[in-house]
């Protein structure tokens, strides 16, 4: 899986469709890729945490 393509899909899910659950699922899938370096893993972790907060805020 190419992280650039995954990032584009996550942005589409998040901003265009407002489907935070699908965006988060893809983030979690990317996080399990063994070829990520520490910087990439940190970026995806931050994005996942942000989506979790959005999901929590949407359910309030």
Residue 23 has a CB neighbour count (10 Å cut-off) of 24
Half-sphere exposure of residue 25: CA atoms within 13 angstroms, side-chain side: 5
Over 70: is that where the pLDDT of 16 sits?
Answer: yes
Output the pTM of the full model: 0.83
Q: Is the CB of residue 48 less than 8 Å from the CB of residue 31? A: yes
The whole-number pLDDT of residue 3 equals: 85
Domain boundaries, the chain: 3-59
Q: Is 40 exposed, middle or buried (0-12, 13-18, 19+ CB in 10 A)?
A: middle
Write the pLDDT tens digit of every residue in 24-48.
999 999 988 878 899 999 999 999 9
């Amino acid at each position: 899986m190419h992280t650039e393509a995954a990032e584009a899909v996550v942005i589409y899910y998040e901003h265009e469709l407002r489907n935070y659950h699908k965006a988060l699922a893809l983030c979690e899938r990317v996080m399990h890729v063994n070829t990520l370096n520490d910087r990439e893993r940190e970026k995806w972790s931050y994005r996942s945490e942000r989506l979790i907060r959005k999901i929590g805020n949407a359910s309030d």
